[in-house]
Amino acid sequence: MSDSADPLVLFMPSGRRGRFPRGTPVIEAARSLGVYVESVCGGRGICGRCQVEVAEGRFAKHGITSSGDHLSPWSAKEARYADKRGLKPGRRLSCSTTVQGDLVVDLPQDMAINAAVVRKAVDTRQFPRDPAVRLLYVEVSEPDMHAPLGDLDRLFQALERDWKLARPTIEPHLLPHIQPVLRQGGWSVTAAIAHDRDDEAPRLVALYPGLKNEAYGIAVDIGSTTIALHLSSLLSGQTIASTGAPNPQIRFGEDLMSRVSYVMMNPDGRPQMTAAVRGAIQALAEKVCAEANVSPADIIDCVFVGNPVMHHLFLGIDPTELGQAPFALALSGALSLPASALDLTLNPGARAYLLPCIAGHVGADAAAATLSEGPHRQDETMLLVDVGTNAEIVLGSSKRLVAASSPTGPAFEGAEISCGQRAAPGAIERVRIDPATLEPRFKIIGTELWSDEPGFVEASAITGVTGICGSGIIEVVAEMFLAGVITEDGVIDGRLAERSPRIVPQGRTFAYVLHETPERRLTILQTDVRAIQLAKAALYAGIKLLLGKLGNPTIDRIALAGAFGSFIEPRYAMVLGLVPDCALEKCGSVGNAAGAGARMALLNRDYRREIEDVVTRIEKIETALEPDFQGHFVAAMAFPNKLDSYPELVKVQPLPNRDSAGLIKAAPDGGENGESAAGDAGSPRRRGGRAGRR
Ligand code: FES
């Protein structure tokens, strides 16, 4: 029992605090406040996983004067550990030191013990940890003829005695190894216990002789274009290395619907694609392990996210139902299973967890992005957009969340564009157009120089200027609009041909010459602008539907996720009307949010419960069934939008034909300039149906 005279202990970075009687072990104080402190050895002072640091000084905000002297003196266990393994100055073992006065305790984030060298820091974000698979060291009593309890049973007894662990189940593959491992370890062993859900029995998944002080997990984002894999220490939480590779399913179909079609047309299509993605993940896991000098056998937990089609194909499920209404998922809830069932050769007992899918077209990747960005944890209204060949959209706040997907197609990734290409060296990624001369300058991937800077020709000589990638397409179309080369309705203005040789006739329309050499001419065609209009109108119409469902709230923050979101400049996303108006500083990239969410679920099982709960509360909107979609789509064909104003954007970026409030200026004749936005463009349905774009 504690009273007000007891010392006050504050744990950082969580900020949790409480009063504890003098003599309370620091690790116990932490745990009683729900602060997770790792421990493999159970307080024997041999694993070093429980290290803490005490902040020195007066913390007026918290009313605490903290000092290392407010801990019990250096203990024998600490001295022994420091002697054997080394302990950084200021570090203490929280299992072996007690509270003696007020304390501010920091949990250091560099707890890589015996760990592989961290080759590259991939993401410095730190998440509170409580992994679903833990290492527990125990000392088991030796066999006794007079008490003939089996070796495994005595191991379970020791786990219950030292770790309060209810009798676990055991993976069958371990049965032949129990006796040799116990003897090899001199009756000291480390058990890897998978215990994802409190309402399920814990599971013994691996057993090591002696003290095993490191274990790893992988978090995998299975994108339709790219697979990204992160290797993290389950004991320190550090991401050790990351890697990625193109999804080999691309050879069966560029976009999701063509892969679904491939399954429908080919009896072997589903197994082929399942084998391809599993093989790619295995290869990536081995690659990342080799890079980090880690054995794949030390990977004991995995988390996977992906859109519904990727999710189903990875699980070996036929995705045909996802290609047509009502877009039925075979399973939508989270799934936990052995990694070996997914043909992954890691630790034989490794577990795999798949986040839940939100709907038939909004997948576990969107769930992971939601977990990472946390719109459900805040009062502000957040718009979370993950743009790929299919945009997944989540909108809302702690009060209410809605989600949908929009069939944007591959235009944003450079496909469907005459000179489009994937982001690769030589691809134009940045563009500026002088509104006076209509002359462009650009940057390509592979050099930092702009095309009008000295040295560009030499710097680009190896790759050449090969095409234009997704971010370049957004910028060139936005710059063409800002320079007046294209009208609000997306028509390349042929009258400018008199003024600039960059505007050239192309059949019955006009084109803009972005780059020309004797060998190559890169032009933006009218059809290219149309492809961007169709893609962005589909995205925006989806967003508008969701906004309508929530009563059209003001958007406080826009998070652009995914590879595309990383490269697109928010200003251009708004100039083109991909997203609604918002203060520019509140709109930005959040990187691979799906991968970050997967890592969170890997490192803390509470996050798994959190997203499982949130997903049940997200309202799913099927854009194809909403009568307002078409109207929103037609208005969104214009740049930035026929009906919606952009008052925040025009504060920093004046728009043609818009006044200072971002409203459309009345045309002198009261009509619209240019041709009809929708007149020749068609609608997503006319372009092959809702599912056809998915
Ligand atoms: Fe292992 Fe403290 S818990 S050293």
The amino acid at residue 103 is L
C-alpha 583/C-alpha 581 separation (Å) is: 7
Q: Which two tokens stand for residue 315?
A: 């699980």
Span 72-85, average pLDDT: 94
What region, left, alpha or beta, does residue 417 occupy, with left being phi > 0 and alpha being psi -120 to 50 degrees?
beta
Q: 465-494 pLDDT, tens per residue?
A: 999 988 899 999 999 999 999 999 999 999
Q: 281-310 pLDDT, tens per residue?
A: 999 999 999 999 999 999 999 999 999 999
Q: How many other C-beta atoms lie within 10 A of the C-beta of residue 96? A: 22
Inter-residue contact 78 to 92 (CB < 8 Å): yes
Which pLDDT score, from 0 to 100, does residue 625 have?
A: 79
Any atom of ligand 1 within 6 Å of the Cβ of 49: yes
Any atom of ligand 1 within 6 Å of the Cβ of 95: yes
Q: Among 3.10.20.30, 3.40.50.1860, 1.20.1050.10, 3.40.50.2300, what is the CATH number of 8-106?
A: 3.10.20.30
Any atom of ligand 1 within 6 Å of the Cβ of 43: yes
Any atom of ligand 1 within 6 Å of the Cβ of 41: yes
Any atom of ligand 1 within 6 Å of the Cβ of 48: yes
Which pLDDT score, from 0 to 100, does residue 681 have?
A: 41
Which residues in the chain are classed under CATH 3.10.20.30? 8-106
Q: How far is the CA of 107 from the centre of ligand 1 (A)?
A: 14
Q: 120-149 pLDDT, tens per residue?
A: 334 567 778 899 999 999 999 999 888 789
- Protein residue with least CA distance to atom 4, ligand 1: 45
Which pLDDT score, from 0 to 100, does residue 3 have?
A: 53
Any atom of ligand 1 within 6 Å of the Cβ of 50: yes
Indicate the top mutation candidate among 37, 71, 95 to test ligand 1's pocket, ranked by most ligand atoms within 8 A of CB: 95
Span 437-459, average pLDDT: 94
Which pLDDT score, from 0 to 100, does residue 568 have?
A: 84
Least confidently predicted of 52-66, 227-241, 529-543, 653-667: 653-667
Any atom of ligand 1 within 6 Å of the Cβ of 135: no
Q: How far is the CA of 336 from the centre of ligand 1 (A)?
A: 30
Q: Is residue 373 over pLDDT 90?
A: yes
C-alpha 30/C-alpha 13 separation (Å) is: 12
Positive or negative torsion for Cα 158, 164, 167, 170? negative
Cα distances (angstroms) measured from residue 684 to each of 209, 406, 473, 533, 642: 61, 10, 20, 11, 18
3-state secondary structure of 27: helix
Q: How far is the CA of 444 from the centre of ligand 1 (A)?
A: 52
Inter-residue contact 127 to 604 (CB < 8 Å): yes
Q: What is the 3-state secondary structure (H, E, C) of 154-218?
A: HHHHHHHHHHCCCCCEECHHHHHHHHHHHHHCCCEEEEEEECCCCCCCCEEEEEEECCCCCCEEE
Cα angle value 407/411/413 (rounded, 5°): 105
C-alpha 169/C-alpha 514 separation (Å) is: 65
Q: How far is the CA of 135 from the centre of ligand 1 (A)?
A: 12
C-alpha 661/C-alpha 680 separation (Å) is: 30
Q: Which two tokens stand for residue 293?
A: 């000098």
Task: Please give the residue that has the higher pLDDT: either 179 or 676.
Answer: 179
Any atom of ligand 1 within 6 Å of the Cβ of 417: no
Q: Is residue 1 over pLDDT 60?
A: no
C-alpha 650/C-alpha 627 separation (Å) is: 31
Give the rounded distance of the alpha carbon of 692 from its chain centre: 26
Give residue 75's pLDDT band: very low, low, confident or very high (50, 70, 90).
very high
Q: Is residue 337 over pLDDT 90?
A: yes
Least confidently predicted of 3-17, 84-98, 365-379, 505-519: 3-17
Q: How many other C-beta atoms lie within 10 A of the C-beta of residue 93? A: 29
Q: How far is the CA of 43 from the centre of ligand 1 (A)?
A: 4
Inter-residue contact 185 to 208 (CB < 8 Å): yes
Average pLDDT, the chain: 89
Span 100-104, average pLDDT: 95
Question: Residue 302 forms beta bridges with which residues?
Answer: 218, 352
Which pLDDT score, from 0 to 100, does residue 408 have?
A: 81
| Omega prior to 73 cis, within 30 of 0 | no
Q: Is residue 8 over pLDDT 90?
A: yes
Inter-residue contact 442 to 431 (CB < 8 Å): yes
Q: How far is the CA of 96 from the centre of ligand 1 (A)?
A: 8
Q: Which atom belonging to ligand 1 lies closest to the Cα atom of 93?
A: 2
Q: How many other C-beta atoms lie within 10 A of the C-beta of residue 398? A: 12
Q: How far is the CA of 37 from the centre of ligand 1 (A)?
A: 10
β-sheet with 521-524: strand ranges across:
503-506, 509-516, 521-524
Q: Which atom belonging to ligand 1 lies closest to the Cα atom of 48?
A: 4
Give residue 666's pLDDT band: very low, low, confident or very high (50, 70, 90).
low
End-to-end CA separation in angstroms for the chain: 60
Give the rounded distance of the alpha carbon of 98 from its chain centre: 39
C-alpha 311/C-alpha 221 separation (Å) is: 10
Which pLDDT score, from 0 to 100, does residue 354 have?
A: 98
Q: Which two tokens stand for residue 471?
A: 């971010």
- Using N-to-C axis directions, what is the helix angle for 593-603 and 605-617, rounded to 10°? 130
| Omega prior to 326 cis, within 30 of 0 | yes
- β-pairing, 427-433 vs 467-468, is parallel
Task: Please give the residue that has the higher pLDDT: either 411 or 203.
Answer: 203
Any atom of ligand 1 within 6 Å of the Cβ of 407: no
Q: H-helix or E-strand containing 512?
A: strand 509-516
Indicate the top mutation candidate among 50, 75, 212 to test ligand 1's pocket, ranked by most ligand atoms within 8 A of CB: 50
| % the chain with pLDDT above 90 | 73
Reported as half-sphere exposure (CB side, CA atoms, 13 A), residue 488 has a value of 22
Q: Which of 237, 219, 242, 217 is nearest to 112 (CA)?
A: 237
Least confidently predicted of 80-84, 417-421, 561-565, 599-603: 561-565
**Residues whose CB falls within 8 Å of the CB of residue 252, separated by 6 or more in sequence, listed in order:** 258, 259, 262, 269, 272, 273, 276
Any atom of ligand 1 within 6 Å of the Cβ of 604: no
Span 614-641, average pLDDT: 92
Any atom of ligand 1 within 6 Å of the Cβ of 47: yes
Which pLDDT score, from 0 to 100, does residue 679 have?
A: 39
Q: 249-284 pLDDT, tens per residue?
A: 988 987 788 899 999 999 999 999 999 999 999 999
